Amino acid sequence: MLKSLYNKLCSLNLGLWLICLVMAFLAIGSFSRGAAEGGGLNEMPLFMFLREAPVSFSWWLWICVALIAVLVVNTIVCGFDALRKGRSLAPQLMHLGFLAIVLAHLISAYGGFKQPIQVIQGGGIYFPDGERLTVEQIGGTTGAMGMMTSYAAILRFPDGRRSEVRPNHPLFHKGYGIYIKEVGMMEAPAALFEIHREPGAPAALIGAIFFTIGNLMLLNTRRQR
C-alpha cells in the first residue's frame, strides 16, 4: 500500500493533472465575486482574505491551496525519487525553484502588507514604528487633451533627505514599497499611494534563479543530444 502511494505521489501525470486543475479553478474563480474589483482579494494578503471572506467568495481559492499543497508533496517525492535513481540535476534545480517560489508566496500570504492611502500635500505616510514620511510636494503634467500625462511626489524623511516617487519608480524603505497610483490637482494637491510589503520576495528571486538555471541546463543537454 505504501509503495503504491509512493508511486502515485512521484508520478509526473499526477503533477500535470494538479497543474491543470489549479489553472481551471483559477479561471473559474476569476469570474467570482471574490475576484471582482470590489471583492477585496487584491487589497490584502491572501491568508487575511481567506480568514475574512465568506466561503461563497473564497471556495475556489481553498481548492487551489489544497491542490498546490498536494503538488508540493508530488514535487518533493518526485525530486527525491529522481535523486535516488541518479537522474539529471537540471530537473531537480527546477523542482527547487518551484518550491522556493511556493514558499515565497506562502511567506507573503501570511506576512505581507498592502494598503492604499490618500494623502494631501503636506500630509504624511506613517510606518508601524511611528516614523513619518512627509509628502512635501505633489505635481503633474497635463496634456493637450486635459488628461494628466505624468505625475510625481517628493517625500521627505525625518532626517531631511528627500526622494521622488513616480509611476514605475517606487520608493523602498524598511522593507516597504511606496507606489504612487493617482494624483489630483483640483483644490489641494493630493495623491493616492499604495504601501506594499512582500517578505517573500527574496525567496521568489532565489526560486526564479534556480528555475532559470535548471531550464538552461535542460535545454543545453537536449541540444547536445
Whole-number pLDDT of residue 106 = 94
Using pLDDT thresholds of 50, 70 and 90, give the confidence band for residue 38. low
Cell for 106? Answer: 506562502
Whether the CB-CB separation of 222 and 106 falls below 8 Å is answered with no
Average pLDDT (200-204) is 93
Q: Which residue has the higher pLDDT, 72 or 113?
A: 72
pLDDT in tens, 110-144: 988 888 889 999 999 988 778 899 999 998 887 77
Which range, 78-87, 137-146, 181-190, 202-211, is most confident?
202-211
C-alpha dist (Å) from residue 70 to 9, 10, 109, 132, 217: 9, 11, 18, 44, 27
**Residue 162: closest CA among 145, 143, 186, 137:** 137
Strand 148-156 and strand 124-126: the pairing is: unpaired
DSSP letters of 24-73?
HHHHHHTTSSTTSTTSSGGGS-HHHHHHHS-HHHHHHHHHHHHHHHHHHH
CA angle 218, 223, 224 (to 5 degrees): 100
